[in-house]
Amino acid sequence: MSIKVIIEKCTGCTLCVKACPFGAIVIKDKKAVIDLHKCTLCGACVEACKFQAIEIDKKAPVCELPDIKDYKGIWVFIEQKKGKVQSVSYELLGKAQELSKKLKSDVSAVLIGNNLDDQLDELIARGADNIYLVEAPEIAEFQDEPYTNILVDLINKYKPEIVLCGATSIGRSLISRVAIKIKAGLTADCTGLDIDMEKKILLQTRPAFGGNIMATIISPNYRPQMATVRHKVMVPMEPDKKRKGKIIKESFDSSIYKSRTKLLDIIDEIESTVNLAEADIIVSGGRGMQAAENFKIIEDLAHVLGAAVGASRAAVDSGWIPYSHQVGQTGRTVASKIYIACGISGQIQHLVGMQSSKIIIAINKDPEAPIFKLATYGIVGDLFQVVPALTKEFKQVLNR
């Protein structure tokens, strides 16, 4: 929609000025002038003008869609830290291979850094048919601007149909910048990916409205279709050392590697407990823990099992345990081998973050708690009795 003043009809009577609720109209040289930055196209001035000197064009502007027929293949941005590929990249390669069979296309890895030759065979074994490799000392570690410039240039040159990236601190920082520069859609924090077999487009599923519903988002008219995917949601391929892949080395002018920021140092997080995202066993506590001091029984069980300590949002919001332990929609997504939920009712926001765990053990005194519908094993009882009993029994068994 647009609005304009028909100069030949305007008398400068000021009726439109008085009618405009947003102060968007002034009289200059006895003619009405509309400030389009203030105008909301409400139409009040059109109704007020006795001389029909203001007109709103209600025709929607024609949006020219890009030509997308030449876009082919699935790309995975490979996240590396200090020259080592991060596990989320292997998860995405596995999912990309699954999607590629439906699209009958190749899977390509995009690896940016320096001295990364020792990582290439593993990427191919884990699902990469092609590897686009960009190496230079200036880009050994991730920096927003040069990595964005490189990825944008590669996408414009090779035209991938789908680009996937981990929903990590690096991935979130990078891929949003890329999407803006190439004018593509981006779905963040996906927990599910699939292909619409009829339309051959990517179905991107993510929690919405605080995790109360799962929304499936599509981007049918623009390419590439882009998504960030949560860590520990997808399952990596079993490595196949017999797989063959193609290495495509790309180089750029040094100006591409320049950044307005300077990387001073990388300090690894020092954790006194097991890393939650990488843990094989997690013991989590929820609202049923009742108080911060009661998390000691959770920590005791975790210590015996060599497990990480998790928590629901309710426990974190109550101040019983730091946010770094939170599992769920607004916390960490985990896919442990064993997940023990103590005093957690099982709201969807929490389930989204741990439902990929292989074995889920729920301990809750409410037999109707939603967590039991998802649990592999359920114990209906008082966690203050059940958890210490489990700790004692495991300690005896493990010490034999």
Average pLDDT, integer, range 96-125: 94
- What pLDDT, on a 0 to 100 scale, did the predictor assign at position 204? 93
Q: Does residue 380 carry a pLDDT above 70?
A: yes
Rounded Cα gap, residues 92 and 240, in angstroms: 16
- Read off the pLDDT of residues 192-250 as tens digits, 9 standing for 90 and up: 999 999 999 999 998 776 666 788 999 988 899 999 998 888 889 999 999 999 999 99
Average pLDDT, integer, range 174-185: 93
Q: The domain containing residue 214 runs over which residues?
A: 74-257
Same domain, 242 and 291: no
| 5-9, 277-281, 373-377, range with the lowest pLDDT | 277-281
Q: 102: helix, coil or strand?
A: helix
Bigger pLDDT: 362 or 57? Answer: 362
Q: What percent of the chain has pLDDT over 90?
A: 69
Rounded Cα gap, residues 276 and 130, in angstroms: 32
Q: What is the CATH number of the domain that holds 106?
A: 3.40.50.620
Bigger pLDDT: 210 or 175? Answer: 175
In a domain, 264, yes or no: no
Same domain, 249 and 344: no
Which of the four pLDDT bands, split at 50, 70 and 90, describes residue 134? very high
- What pLDDT, on a 0 to 100 scale, did the predictor assign at position 399? 75
In a domain, 323, yes or no: yes
Same domain, 222 and 282: no
Same domain, 107 and 233: yes
Burial class (CB in 10 A: 0-12, 13-18, 19+), 354: buried
Residue in 193, 195, 164 with CA at minimum distance from that of residue 178? 164
- Distance, CA of 301 to chain centre: 32
- Read off the pLDDT of residues 24-66 as tens digits, 9 standing for 90 and up: 999 999 999 999 888 989 999 999 999 999 998 877 666 677 7
Which of the four pLDDT bands, split at 50, 70 and 90, describes residue 268? low
In a domain, 48, yes or no: yes
Q: Does residue 89 carry a pLDDT above 60?
A: yes
Q: Does residue 267 carry a pLDDT above 80?
A: no
| 7-16, 92-101, 247-256, 269-278, range with the lowest pLDDT | 269-278
- What pLDDT, on a 0 to 100 scale, did the predictor assign at position 93? 96
Rounded Cα gap, residues 360 and 23, in angstroms: 61
Q: What is the CATH number of the domain that holds 298?
A: 3.40.50.1220
Residues 6+ apart with CB under 8 A from 133: 111, 116, 120, 247, 248, 249, 250
Please give the mean pLDDT across all residues of the chain.
90
Per the DSSP assignment, residues forming a β-bridge with 350 are none
Residue where one domain finishes, among candidates 257, 284, 299: 257
In a domain, 269, yes or no: no
Residue 317 CB neighbour total at 10 angstroms = 13
Q: Does residue 269 carry a pLDDT above 60?
A: no
Q: What percent of the chain has pLDDT over 70?
A: 96
- Read off the pLDDT of residues 62-82 as tens digits, 9 standing for 90 and up: 667 778 888 999 999 999 998
pTM of this prediction exceeds 0.95: no
Average pLDDT, integer, range 299-323: 91
- What pLDDT, on a 0 to 100 scale, did the predictor assign at position 285? 94
Q: Does residue 270 carry a pLDDT above 60?
A: no
Q: Which helix (H) or strand (E) holds 397?
A: helix 383-398
Which of the four pLDDT bands, split at 50, 70 and 90, describes residue 16? very high
Same domain, 220 and 86: yes
CB-based contacts of 295-302 (< 8 A; 24+ apart in sequence): 295/320, 295/321, 297/383, 297/384, 297/387, 297/388, 297/391, 298/342, 298/387, 300/388, 300/391, 301/340, 301/387, 301/390, 301/391, 301/394, 302/273, 302/274
**Structurally, how many domains does the chain consist of?**
3
Bigger pLDDT: 346 or 58? Answer: 346
Same domain, 224 and 81: yes
In a domain, 387, yes or no: yes
In a domain, 173, yes or no: yes
- What pLDDT, on a 0 to 100 scale, did the predictor assign at position 262? 84
Per the DSSP assignment, residues forming a β-bridge with 131 are 109, 247
Question: Is there a contact between 140 and 263 (Cβ–Cβ < 8 Å)?
Answer: no
Average pLDDT, integer, range 370-397: 92
Letter string b/e over residues 28-64, b meaning 16 or more CB atoms within 10 A of that residue's CB = eeeebebeeeebeeeebbbebbeeebbeeeeeeeeee
- What pLDDT, on a 0 to 100 scale, did the predictor assign at position 266? 75
